[in-house]
Amino acid sequence: MFGMIPCEKGPIPGEYQCIERIRLEMSRKTRLIVDGKTYELPLVTGTEGEKAIDISSLRSQSGLITLDVGFANTGSCKSSITYMDGEKGILRYRGIPIEQLAERSTFVETAYLLINGELPTRKQLNNFSVLLNDHSLVHEDMRQFFENFPRGAHPMGILSSMVNALRAFYPEIPEISEEEEINVTVTRLLSKVRTMAAMSYKISRGHKVVYPRHDLTYAANFLNMMFDSPVRPYRIEEEYVDALNVFWILHADHEQNCSTAAVRLVGSARVNLYAAISAGICALWGPLHGGANQAVIEMLMVIEENGGDVTPFIERAKDKKDPFRLMGFGHRVYKTYDPRAKIMKKVCDRLLKKMKISDPLLDIARKLEEVALKDSYFKDHDLYPNVDFYTGIVLRALGIPLNMFTVMFAIGRLPGWISQWKESMDDPAWRLQRPRQIYVGNGKRDYVPIDKRR
């Protein structure tokens, strides 16, 4: 179990016979035997039967810690928000399959579901939409901030700074209860992040900022703020709004991924919600996480520039001496086709067909997928397209510029970050998150004065 001492399967089913010093018996309770001493550890079972050994008392009982670089085998919390099964390709928010939400819900309704635990009634949804509308404007003084970022600054850097700055513009209100304060902060974030994202795009282009409109839905409003102009009014296409809703729904939560873990970890120090979300945005920026949707398009463009043949790129991805990886392929948890990628692929095909858009990158992506899925390296490594593989093509069809792709992901992930943060704050088992380590550096040695160093 702990990977330090080799074990062989024992004669009794479910038991492990030890060759050396460590033995772990799992039945109704878990017994860990180290150097002849037995430690009892509770076995925790989730709703879907997934099992975990609760090691929280391990160190106090035995002096041992567990080592799990990258946390691939470590559960950091119990959560009732999102269920995923990476082997079967299942994703559910609050129990509802992602396929049903993508087909029938809107992003605002899904955000409500994630944050509050239940689908809203019509009245609750209306009230929520009204609140989002009421909070959609951004403090006018924040525009000076925006305008002073260098023109070439990456929008993810701008967004994380601006979200952190929201606390300065919207300080705590001592007159209201903590619960009311959280509700206001949550609504502000959901509404203003969308406005700020569009604002940063307009300012980066030197264009006039477009204000949110009360008569438009969340997604339509965003597209309008991005693309409306005094000289070319933006025509809101229903197909674009639908595709954007699905895109955001698919990104709304994904249990303990890198950015959500960052939000929970930073939040565990009891910082304000704006600061915790800002940390999540920074984590999402990385190309191995949210930055992958941009990296996929960049990779497809390079393939196109090189004549469109995918074979050399497949070969490079397999070459261990080459750091190149097939972007949009592989996932820490999914060892089968990412269910979100399946939905996104359909949305992509439908949108491009309906809007009569032809994108050569889609043909390259299809070819790449076809070749990779037949290749033994990708099969043996369980590497399948992830959500980012087709999202970039959808975003391009909507007119979203490449450097805004990860910002689009961030807007979508916001309800997930918020609900995970809320859950962790309300968790009776809450603790400051502070992992341990195994020290492998120098043993004790003496300080050498500078003139004696070589």
- Binding piece for ligand ACO, criterion CB under 6 A, among 40-48, 108-116, 355-363, 386-394: 386-394
- Using a 10 angstrom Cβ sphere, with 0-12 exposed, 13-18 middle and 19 or more buried, the burial of residue 184 is middle
Q: Does 332 bind ligand ACO (CB under 6 A)?
A: yes
DSSP state of 232: B
Least separation in angstroms between residue 369's CB and ligand ACO is: 12
H/E stretch holding 99 reads helix 98-104
Q: Phi then psi for 402, rounded to 5 degrees?
A: -55, -45
Please give the size of the binding site for ligand ACO, defined by CB under 6 A.
17
Asked if 413 is part of the footprint of ligand ACO (rule: CB under 6 A), the reply reads no
Q: How many helices (H) and strands (E) does the chain have?
A: 18, 10
Task: Tell me: does residue 388 bind ligand ACO (CB under 6 A).
Answer: yes
Stretch that binds ligand ACO, among 75-83, 223-231, 303-311, 323-331 (CB under 6 A): 323-331
Q: Give the tokens for residue 177.
A: 């209860």
108 scored as a contact of ligand ACO (CB under 6 A) = no
Amino acid at 383: L
Neighbour count for residue 432 (Cβ, 10 Å): 8
Q: Which of residues 300-319 bind ligand ACO (CB under 6 A)?
A: 317
Give the range of 44-52, 129-137, 211-219, 284-292 binding ligand ACO by CB under 6 A: 284-292
Q: Which residues contact 303 (CB under 8 A, 6 or more apart)?
A: 309, 310, 313, 364, 368
- Piece of 92-100, 181-189, 287-295, 350-358 that binds ligand ACO (CB under 6 A): 287-295
Residue selected from 212, 328, 415, 416 as contacting ligand ACO according to rule CB under 6 A: 328
Closest to ligand ACO by CB, 132 or 383: 383
Q: Are 357 and 402 in contact (CB under 8 A)?
A: no
Q: In whole angstroms, what is the distance from residue 34 CA to residue 231 CA? A: 75
Residue 329 within binding range of ligand ACO, rule CB under 6 A: yes
| Among the listed residues 290, 278, 250, 287, the one whose alpha carbon sits nearest the alpha carbon of residue 417 | 278
Measuring CA to CA, which residue among 397, 342, 402, 390 is closest to residue 366? 390
Least CB distance to ligand ACO at residue 389 (A): 7
Question: Please, what is the minimum distance in Å from the beta carbon of residue 193 to ligand ACO?
Answer: 18
Contact with ligand ACO (CB under 6 A) among 167, 289, 335, 350: 289
Q: Name the token pair of 327.
A: 């972007």
Task: Please answer whether residues 154 and 401 qualify as being in contact, where contact means their C-beta atoms are separated by less than 8 angstroms.
Answer: no
Q: Judge whether 254 counts as a catalytic residue.
A: no
141 an active-site residue? no
Specify the residue for token string 């038991």.
Answer: 15
Marked catalytic residue, from 214, 388, 426, 451: 388
CB of 384 to ligand ACO, least distance (A): 10
415 and 115 Cβ atoms separated by less than 8 Å: yes
Contact flag: residue 394 with ligand ACO (CB under 6 A): no
Binding piece for ligand ACO, criterion CB under 6 A, among 95-103, 286-294, 301-309, 417-425: 286-294
Residue among 104, 208, 374, 381 that touches ligand ACO (CB under 6 A): 381
364/387 with CB nearer ligand ACO: 387
Q: Does 351 bind ligand ACO (CB under 6 A)?
A: no
Q: Does the footprint of ligand ACO cover residue 288 (CB under 6 A)?
A: yes
Partners of residue 7 on adjacent β-strands = 18
The closest residue (CB) to ligand ACO is: 330
Q: What are phi and psi of 394, to 5 degrees?
A: -65, -45
Interface contacts to ligand ACO, rule CB under 6 A: 288-289, 292, 317, 325-332, 381, 383, 386-388
Q: Which residues are catalytic?
A: 331, 388
